Structure 1
Amino acid sequence: MDLTYFLDRFSEPWVLTIGGFLAGALFGGFAQQSRFCLRAAALDFAHGVFGVRLSIWLFAFSAALLGTQLLVGVGEVQSQEARQLASPQSLSGAALGGIMFGVGMVLARGCASRLLVLSATGNLRALLSGLVFAVIAQASLRGILKPFREWLAGLWTTADIGGNDLIAHLGLSQTVVIAFALLWFAAGLAIAIRARTAPWQAFSACVAGFAVPLAWWFTSSVASQAFDPVQIEGITFTGPSADTLMLFLSPAHSALDFGIGLVPGVFAGSFVAALLTRELELQGFEGGRSMARYGTGAGLMGFGGMLAGGCAVGAGITGASVFAVTAWITLSAIWLSAGLTDYALNGRPVRNGQAGAAMETP
């Protein structure tokens, strides 16, 4: 894609910001329509319910993996230039941060991306939780929690194992990697057929997932044509949420980039989708105990996501799509800790297929 005209006319930061907004709007709109939610999928799996929510997550996940690896295969995305692979990452942070994020995700009843999507539909619980998430993420990135995060992150890094590229570690060919992604899609399709997932919902999940390789492709295109160095990236919410918060609090010190456009783009896309389908509805907290639970969960996600180097989407899908070792560790830790946290809160999981009532997003 030739971006020379836009780069000359609008400058690199503005092109990246606009691209981030458009990619975010695509993700937000179709994530809202598909009800994409890692928490719901993880708890369904923990309850032994292979239903609609699990199929939706698998569709989005496999679409991101397949789309990204196809672009890598044809040379449109240089995955080795991604932050997850180009620089040392924290293995201890991936494990510990993933655990914290999974616990927080269950307490807040939604991951960071889901809270952002829901807040755009009028859910004030999700909006406040999202603000807490962004504040703690900022404190972990540059504030009072930064030393503690850096200490935990430094306990074990990918430098100790010779890099963060899982494909290189396992010696996999591009064909095997693409076949692996297709297996995830086949699993989602099988579950969707059995659970009678609505075609529009399945399609929306795939489009939301394809927003990840779209982001990789766009930032790679800008990086190859821009004069100044540009970091290629996919879709993530921990760092961008913190940066977007600072844009509103201290705009003079905030630089425009892809992530700055991403967060408002997701909000706008979700709002438009909910507006068109008449799903806008104001919702609030139900007492102080509920508010404390959501706030605690959001705080754990903010610190855990920053420690892990990404959230349920940033590490669990975007990082996994380029097969970063730390991303797969984080994703596994999130799934495991979410199931254990739900068990600790609600006791023995039900297995009658009626788990959904306990797993409604906020």
Structure 2
Amino acid sequence: MDLSSLLDYVNEANLAAFFGLLTGVVFGVAAQRSSFCLRAATVEFARGRLGPRMSVWLLTFSTAVVWVQGAQSLGLFRAEDARMMAVAGSWSGAVIGGLMFGAGMVLARGCSGRLLVLAATGNLRSLIAGLIFAVVAQMSLHGWLAPLRGALAGLWVTPSGRNINLLAALSLPDWSGVLLGLAVAALALVLARRNQIGARVLVFASGVGFAVALGWVLTFSLAQVAFDPVSVTSATFSGPSAKTLMFFLVPDAVPEFDIGLVPGVFLGAFLAAAVSKELRFQGFEGIGQMRRAMAGAALMGFGAMLAGGCAIGAGVTGASIFVATAWLAALCMWIGAALTDFFVDQPKTGRDSA
């Protein structure tokens, strides 16, 4: 049964939400079993190590690029139809928001996606921080912080009302995206072997990248046959967290891909943790840790909405289709995280021992 026939039985909004749920479950399982975390990778890098977390992140990033660019070569997806490519991007938002998000994820000890995965395993610290992230993201999207976000984002935007495809801007052939992904994957496998990472972890790390491609292909396929407009999107946790929060608070909210994504990740991570017997309650170790997590979550909530995506949305999903501002935001997230670790955490642990 093709999608056109399926729409005779399921309306477009509910089918989009189901696709989000499916993408989220795949992402949640893979992220929980691989311990995928941008914050951990940036800390390793900031401390002069190319360790296991860095290997996992590079493999996730590279496989997302390969899967997405490969799907585009096969005609299963078009990057120019993606929501984040079809709207104007903000250079200023990518820089300011990226730096804020990077600092926030170090303070909160996890990016927004990682917090959601950990919350599903019983980590109450991540649950509280994740809720604060969602509330601040919603405030930045439509609430009190929206004017400030709009002013900062409007300082410097991409021309012509659209974002910029880096491959096209650099006049590179379409296959160069796949080539870059394969090169980064080779580096990731070399580092994985050096760090003695098992094949199972590598498969699940690749699964996170596959989930990103799955979201792109599913929403693109639905957009081709749906009567009403359907956003072509994939895994990200800034907008979806805010929308999911409002979905459960507002009675007339409409289902969509973003609404299914967050519960899907939670469900996938919960099931993976249950099977591996890693479910356990964890709380804050003290008031200082609580304050730090709350401040970090707030920085991430505003920073992600300003940057146009979180560590996943910009750093993997947007980067996989070579959205220019997503690459800039991801770079600034790395810089913000490294600087925060250097000035906040390393003095406590001792830079010489890091």
| TMscore range, shorter length | over 0.9
Deviations 1:96-142 (CA, angstroms, capped at 9, x unpaired): 10000000000000000000000000000000000000000000000
Deviations 1:186-242 (CA, angstroms, capped at 9, x unpaired): 110010011111111111000111100110000010001111111101110000000
What is the match of residue 180 of structure 2? 180
- Partners of 1:127 and 1:346 lie apart in 2 by 22
- Partners of 1:149 and 1:164 lie apart in 2 by 21
**Offset at residue 350 of structure 1 (A):** 6.7
- Partners of 1:346 and 1:304 lie apart in 2 by 21
What is the match of residue 147 of structure 1? 147
Report if the CA contact (8 A) 2:84-2:163 is conserved. no
Q: Secondary structure at the match of 1:251?
A: coil
Report if the CA contact (8 A) 1:141-1:306 is conserved. yes
CA RMSD of aligned residues (A): 1.5
What is the match of residue 359 of structure 1? none
Report if the CA contact (8 A) 2:107-2:292 is conserved. yes
Q: Is 1:324 the equivalent of 2:329? A: no
**Offset at residue 246 of structure 1 (A):** 0.5
**Offset at residue 161 of structure 1 (A):** 10
Label 1:162 to 1:307 Cα distance change in 2 as closer, same or farther (>3 A): closer
**Offset at residue 162 of structure 1 (A):** 8.0
**Offset at residue 160 of structure 1 (A):** 7.5
**Offset at residue 346 of structure 1 (A):** 2.6
- Partners of 1:249 and 1:175 lie apart in 2 by 45
Report if the CA contact (8 A) 1:31-1:117 is conserved. yes
4+ runs deviating over 4 angstroms: 160-163, 348-352
Label 1:161 to 1:231 Cα distance change in 2 as closer, same or farther (>3 A): closer
Report if the CA contact (8 A) 1:49-1:351 is conserved. no
What is the match of residue 343 of structure 1? 342
TM-score (norm 1): 0.95
**Offset at residue 147 of structure 1 (A):** 0.3
Q: Which amino acid aligns with 1:105?
A: M
Report if the CA contact (8 A) 2:88-2:161 is conserved. no
Q: Secondary structure at the match of 2:48?
A: coil
What is the match of residue 133 of structure 2? 133
Which runs of 5 or more residues in structure 2 are unaligned?
none
What is the match of residue 201 of structure 2? 201
- Partners of 1:3 and 1:351 lie apart in 2 by 56
- Partners of 1:163 and 1:77 lie apart in 2 by 17
Q: Secondary structure at the match of 2:248?
A: helix
- Partners of 1:216 and 1:160 lie apart in 2 by 24
Report if the CA contact (8 A) 1:123-1:281 is conserved. yes
Report if the CA contact (8 A) 2:238-2:309 is conserved. yes
Label 1:184 to 1:350 Cα distance change in 2 as closer, same or farther (>3 A): farther
What is the match of residue 16 of structure 2? 16
What is the match of residue 270 of structure 1? 269
- Partners of 2:47 and 2:98 lie apart in 1 by 20
Report if the CA contact (8 A) 1:47-1:350 is conserved. no
Deviations 1:65-96 (CA, angstroms, capped at 9, x unpaired): 11000111111101101122212111100111
- Partners of 1:229 and 1:83 lie apart in 2 by 11
Q: Which amino acid aligns with 1:276?
A: V
Deviations 1:235-289 (CA, angstroms, capped at 9, x unpaired): 100000000001111132x211001000000000000000000000100011211
Q: Secondary structure at the match of 1:92?
A: helix
Q: Which amino acid aligns with 2:322?
A: F
Report if the CA contact (8 A) 1:102-1:336 is conserved. yes
Q: Secondary structure at the match of 1:13?
A: helix
Q: Is 1:226 the equivalent of 2:197? A: no
Report if the CA contact (8 A) 1:19-1:261 is conserved. yes
- Partners of 1:196 and 1:259 lie apart in 2 by 36
Report if the CA contact (8 A) 2:167-2:322 is conserved. yes
Deviations 1:312-337 (CA, angstroms, capped at 9, x unpaired): 00011000001011010011001111
Report if the CA contact (8 A) 1:48-1:351 is conserved. no
- Partners of 1:169 and 1:282 lie apart in 2 by 48
Deviations 1:20-52 (CA, angstroms, capped at 9, x unpaired): 001100000110000000000011111111111
What is the match of residue 358 of structure 1? none
Q: Which amino acid aligns with 1:140?
A: S
**Offset at residue 347 of structure 1 (A):** 3.5
Q: Which amino acid aligns with 1:23?
A: T
Q: Which amino acid aligns with 1:325?
A: A
Q: Is 1:44 the equivalent of 2:47? A: no
Deviations 1:292-317 (CA, angstroms, capped at 9, x unpaired): 10000000000000001100000110
Q: Which amino acid aligns with 1:245?
A: L
State the aligned residue count.
Answer: 353
Q: Which amino acid aligns with 1:52?
A: P
TM alignment of 1:1-362, pairs within 5 A: 2-159=2-159, 163-252=163-252, 254-347=253-346, 355=354
Q: Secondary structure at the match of 1:279?
A: coil
- Partners of 1:143 and 1:162 lie apart in 2 by 25
Q: Which amino acid aligns with 1:190?
A: V
- Partners of 1:240 and 1:161 lie apart in 2 by 23
